């Protein structure tokens, strides 16, 4: 069982405490599974109290014994009932006046309960600080992401074995999923934003390529029913169709996002052209973006290129369902920072990892483009997913 090194956890907690102090907060209480895992190395049920200074305390209701084994933290205690929280907080952070919580993900009823429990202390949102920390990946995290990218690479190489005319989209998807799962895909893909969820990703063919969904992405897909209206459907994959494989690898907690296209015969020339334009946009961004480049500028640059090359109306979606970004951070969650979009006026920094996905959605014709998971290094952008990018004939 892989556990997060103590050194890694110590560094994260230290940086978090600095931010807690800067914000004028006496402590943060971390509750969400993914954040818990980031700061403790475990996501057993409970709360992590991080005082502005001193030892953090991981309170675990279930399973306490597993938390002891998984987390390198020294201060882990069994939590019998959450009613004990106010007393424990008083002892851990004497005289606390201001507490930080993850207000972006904490359900309202828990927020209200905490507000009452910790009254008269003020409750503030600490989620921006957490996202800021998680934005820069450590060498340890980058190594795991590289391992995930290898599973992704193997999967894309195996696609021609599974992708056959006459198969249903869902049947093809099931086999791709089975392949990844056997190599260690954890299944669960964590998405932070409310109501956003994804099951592996998007596998669609032909007319299903351009079906939008509730998911914030250039593509959507029909899904098997309106109850989960996303990804592969019941449609049979036919001759002369293009197939998208936009599947996330989630390995040892970390997401790798990558898209490739496959064709079963002729590809409409407009789609061929769209694909080349997407590749040109990708390469231009990789050539020019370096640490210090502003995220919103990169998005603007991409939009301008799409317009110049005649694909403005198809870039990242069509009409009202157009996605308004060209890249999104990946890590323990699929929707991390940085976001390459308008109003994201912060610079790229070494250690950031994001999915860059210039795609063209042409109604009645199809979807083309590419998506790679990219690491920002001191020298510039490095593709972590190294897989042929042309539309692959099968």
Q: How far is the CB of 281 from its own copies (least distance, A)?
A: 23
Closest CA to 330 of 151, 130, 191, 170: 191
Residue 1 or residue 388: which is nearer to its own copies going by CB?
1
Residue 257 or residue 389: which is nearer to its own copies going by CB?
257
Q: How far is the CB of 394 from its own copies (least distance, A)?
A: 20
Among 27, 41, 59, 373, binds its own copies (CB under 8 A): 41
Q: How far is the CB of 185 from its own copies (least distance, A)?
A: 8
Position 92 contacts its own copies (CB under 8 A): no
Between the alpha carbon of residue 290 and those of residues 143, 294, 297, 352, 378, the distances in Å are: 21, 9, 12, 11, 7
Q: How far is the CB of 310 from its own copies (least distance, A)?
A: 25
Q: How far is the CB of 301 from its own copies (least distance, A)?
A: 25
Residue 154 or residue 186: which is nearer to its own copies going by CB?
186
Q: How far is CA 64 from the centre of its chain?
A: 28
Position 313 contacts its own copies (CB under 8 A): no
Asked if 96 and 89 count as a contact pair (C-beta separation under 8 A), the reply is yes
Residue list 4-23, contact with its own copies (CB under 8 A): 4
Q: What is the CA radius of gyration of the chain?
A: 22
Among 1, 116, 343, 388, binds its own copies (CB under 8 A): 1
According to DSSP, the β-strands at 201-205 and 242-251 are antiparallel
Give the separation between CA 355 and CA 147, rounded to whole angstroms: 16
Position 213 contacts its own copies (CB under 8 A): yes
Position 83 contacts its own copies (CB under 8 A): no
Between the alpha carbon of residue 387 and those of residues 85, 125, 152, 390, the distances in Å are: 50, 40, 9, 9
Position 227 contacts its own copies (CB under 8 A): yes
Position 297 contacts its own copies (CB under 8 A): no
Q: Give the interface segment with its own copies, choosing from 89-97, 150-158, 197-205, 271-279 (CB under 8 A).
A: 197-205
Count Cβ atoms below 10 Å from residue 226 Cβ, excluding itself: 7
Position 178 contacts its own copies (CB under 8 A): yes
Q: How far is the CB of 145 from its own copies (least distance, A)?
A: 13
Position 221 contacts its own copies (CB under 8 A): no
Residue list 133-172, contact with its own copies (CB under 8 A): 168, 170-171
Position 320 contacts its own copies (CB under 8 A): yes
Residue list 94-113, contact with its own copies (CB under 8 A): 101, 103-112
Residue list 245-284, contact with its own copies (CB under 8 A): 250, 252-254
Position 31 contacts its own copies (CB under 8 A): yes
Residue list 323-352, contact with its own copies (CB under 8 A): 332
Site size toward its own copies, by CB under 8 A? 77
Residue 274: both structure tokens together: 């769209």
With H, G, I as helix, E, B as strand and everything else as coil, classify residue 34: helix
Residue list 60-79, contact with its own copies (CB under 8 A): 62-66, 70, 78
Count Cβ atoms below 10 Å from residue 271 Cβ, excluding itself: 22
Among 186, 272, 276, 344, binds its own copies (CB under 8 A): 186
Position 2 contacts its own copies (CB under 8 A): yes
Residue 56: both structure tokens together: 């953090």
Q: Please, which contacts does 301-307 make with residues 24 or more away whose CB atoms are closer than 8 Å?
A: 302/326, 302/340, 302/358, 305/277, 305/280, 305/281, 306/277, 306/281, 306/358, 306/360
Residue 336 or residue 389: which is nearer to its own copies going by CB?
336
CA angle 137, 143, 145 (to 5 degrees): 75
Q: Which H or E run contains 309? A: none
Give the separation between CA 13 and CA 209, rounded to whole angstroms: 43
Q: How far is the CB of 39 from its own copies (least distance, A)?
A: 13
Give the separation between CA 22 and CA 318, rounded to whole angstroms: 43
Q: How far is CA 353 from the centre of its chain?
A: 10
Position 206 contacts its own copies (CB under 8 A): no
Residue 127 or residue 259: which is nearer to its own copies going by CB?
127
Position 231 contacts its own copies (CB under 8 A): yes
Position 45 contacts its own copies (CB under 8 A): yes
Please name the residue that has the structure tokens 């249903």: 168
CA dihedral for 312, 314, 320, 326, sign (positive or negative): negative
């Amino acid at each position: 069982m892989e556990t997060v090194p103590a050194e890694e956890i110590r560094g994260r907690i230290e940086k978090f405490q600095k931010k807690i102090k800067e914000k004028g907060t006496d402590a943060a209480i971390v509750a969400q599974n993914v954040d818990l895992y980031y700061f403790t190395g475990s996501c057993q049920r409970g709360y992590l109290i991080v005082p502005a200074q001193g030892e953090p305390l991981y309170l675990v209701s279930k399973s306490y014994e597993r938390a002891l084994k998984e987390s390198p933290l020294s201060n882990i205690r069994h939590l019998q009932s959450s009613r004990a929280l106010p007393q424990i907080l008083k002892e851990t952070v004497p005289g606390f006046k201001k507490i930080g919580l993850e207000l972006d993900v904490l359900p309202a009823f828990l927020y209200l309960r905490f507000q009452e429990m910790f009254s008269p202390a003020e409750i503030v949102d600490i989620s921006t600080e957490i996202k800021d920390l998680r934005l820069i990946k450590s060498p340890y995290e980058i190594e795991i992401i590289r391992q995930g990218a290898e599973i992704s690479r193997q999967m894309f190489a195996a696609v021609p074995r599974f992708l056959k005319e006459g198969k249903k989209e869902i049947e093809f998807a099931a086999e791709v999923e089975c392949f990844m799962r056997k190599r260690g895909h954890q299944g669960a893909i964590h998405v932070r934003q409310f109501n956003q969820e994804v099951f592996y990703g998007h596998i669609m063919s032909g007319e299903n390529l351009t079906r939008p969904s509730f998911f914030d992405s250039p593509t959507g897909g029909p899904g098997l029913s309106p109850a989960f209206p996303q990804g592969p459907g019941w449609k049979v994959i036919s001759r002369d169709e293009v197939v998208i494989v936009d599947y996330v690898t989630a390995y040892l907690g970390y997401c790798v996002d990558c898209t490739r296209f496959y064709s079963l015969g002729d590809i409409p020339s407009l789609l061929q052209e769209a694909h080349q334009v997407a590749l040109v946009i990708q390469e231009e961004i990789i050539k020019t973006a370096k640490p210090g480049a502003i995220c919103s500028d990169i998005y603007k640059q991409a939009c301008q290129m799409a317009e110049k090359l005649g694909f403005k109306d198809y870039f990242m979606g069509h009409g009202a369902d157009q996605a308004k970004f060209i890249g999104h951070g990946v890590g323990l969650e699929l929707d991390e920072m940085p976001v390459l979009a308008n109003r994201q006026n912060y610079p790229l920094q070494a250690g950031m990892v994001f999915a860059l996905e210039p795609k063209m959605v042409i109604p009645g014709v199809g979807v083309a483009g590419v998506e790679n998971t990219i690491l920002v290094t001191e020298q510039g952008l490095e593709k972590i997913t190294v897989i042929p990018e042309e539309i692959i004939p099968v």
